[in-house]
Amino acid sequence: MLRVPPFRGDQVAAGVVVLGVLVLLLQVRMGWPPGGQLALAAGATAGVGFLLAGCPREPRPYVSAIVVMTLVLLAVTLGRLGEVLGGEGLIGGTGGAAWKLAVLGAVGAILARVFDAAAATLVAAVSLAFVPLAFFAWASDPSPGVERLLLLAMALVLALAAVSRRDRRPTHAAQLANAAGLALVAIATVPLVGATASVVLLDAACGLGGTDARALAPTGGASVAERSTSCFLEGSVGWGWELPLLVGGFGLLAYGAVDRQRGPVLVGLLVLVGFVASASGFGREGLLGWPIVLAVAAGFMLIVGLRPTTPAPPEPLGPDEPGPPLPLSGPRRTGPR
């Protein structure tokens, strides 16, 4: 087995990252047949995996970089494999996405366990969290409400897993919290996905009929990205889904602040951005609703935090604490010596 010297680990990791970028560039740029692209991706994945097997089982930065690039190349290989196999059902389409995510999540969980790589924990958690969503999308074509319900359930499971591992494996717990936050971000972006799909379909239909889609769109002569963003801002997921977004966003901010983890803070900000975009949707002007709730909550917490305080009494001495020191000189003798 090829051993990676620890003092050259950074150079090896840099070479692996450059190799991964090269493979991704060839996958996108070259018009090779799917079989050739699959052979290239599979060969690169096997080579990087062989190097990874010679790395120490320790959470070192260069080991984490090699682990992440191994998972990236594996994802490309799985995508090309599904393209080569073709077909629909559990091989292609949304059913194919389910088994690809399951394989990627399982491999990520194994690498996170073996190499103690927190980044692999994030990849595994996100991949496995979206497996039920992809499977139900293939099996029953669920509505956006069912998709949000599945995402909320996955977010709760990941949040509980993060809390249970917070003391023993704090870095891995933070990545699980990040995955839960990304599931909440997906809840907020369901309207954006639907709006983008509808705008693209409108462009395609009007293009076949010889009509300019921008003339029919409610947002006027704007591009696909501008009209999709406008549809997203004018819609909302409803207050029932906005409540988990608000609670989850604040929870991630508190988690990151208490445990001094930057990842949950950034993801929490993304969740709150999704909440603001949904709560400020079309037809929700005025101060009724969330503005009053947030104003009351902010005022209550500020009053509690800034209320006058009284000096605390001195703490009583415990049973094992020493008493006051004795004088250095004893009592003066008055009698004859």
| Those residues with Cβ within 8 angstroms of residue 68's Cβ, 6 or more apart along the chain or in another chain | 117, 119, 120, 123
What pTM was estimated for this model as a whole?
0.75
Domain match, 178 and 258 both: yes
Tens digits of per-residue pLDDT, 236-265?
677 788 899 999 999 999 999 998 889 999
Domain match, 59 and 108 both: yes
Q: Confidence band (pLDDT; 50, 70, 90) for 227? A: very low
- Tell me, what's the pLDDT at 269? 94
Which residue in 177, 52, 186, 39 sits closest to 114, CA to CA? 52
Q: What is the mean pLDDT of residues 285-297?
A: 83
Domain match, 54 and 136 both: yes
pLDDT tops 60 at residue 298: yes
**What percent of the chain has pLDDT above 70?**
74
Q: Are the beta carbons of 52 and 66 closer than 8 angstroms?
A: yes
Tens digits of per-residue pLDDT, 156-178?
999 999 999 988 899 999 999 99
Number of Cβ within 10 Å of residue 162's Cβ equals 25
Domains: count for the chain: 2
**Is 65 inside a domain boundary?**
yes
pLDDT tops 50 at residue 200: no
Domain match, 255 and 163 both: yes
Domain match, 273 and 199 both: yes
**Is 310 inside a domain boundary?**
no
Q: How far apart are CA 84 and CA 37, in angstroms?
A: 10
- Tell me, what's the pLDDT at 322? 66
Q: Are the beta carbons of 188 and 277 closer than 8 angstroms?
A: yes
**Is 191 inside a domain boundary?**
yes
Single residue among 248, 279, 310 that ends a domain in this structure: 279
Residue ranges making up the domain that contains 92: 1-140
Domain match, 16 and 82 both: yes
Q: How far apart are CA 223 and CA 212, in angstroms?
A: 12
Q: What is the mean pLDDT of residues 35-64?
A: 89
Domain match, 150 and 265 both: yes
Q: Are the beta carbons of 122 and 116 closer than 8 angstroms?
A: no
- Tell me, what's the pLDDT at 242? 87
- Tell me, what's the pLDDT at 221? 47
Q: How far apart are CA 82 and CA 103, in angstroms?
A: 12
Domain match, 69 and 189 both: no
| Those residues with Cβ within 8 angstroms of residue 313's Cβ, 6 or more apart along the chain or in another chain | none
Domain match, 104 and 182 both: no
Domain match, 135 and 146 both: no
Backbone dihedral region of 117: left (phi > 0), alpha (psi from -120 to 50 degrees) or beta? beta
Domain match, 105 and 134 both: yes
Residue 208: is it exposed, middle or buried by C-beta count within 10 angstroms (0-12/13-18/19+)? exposed
| Those residues with Cβ within 8 angstroms of residue 78's Cβ, 6 or more apart along the chain or in another chain | 100, 103, 104
Q: How far is residue 29 CA from its own chain's centroid?
A: 29
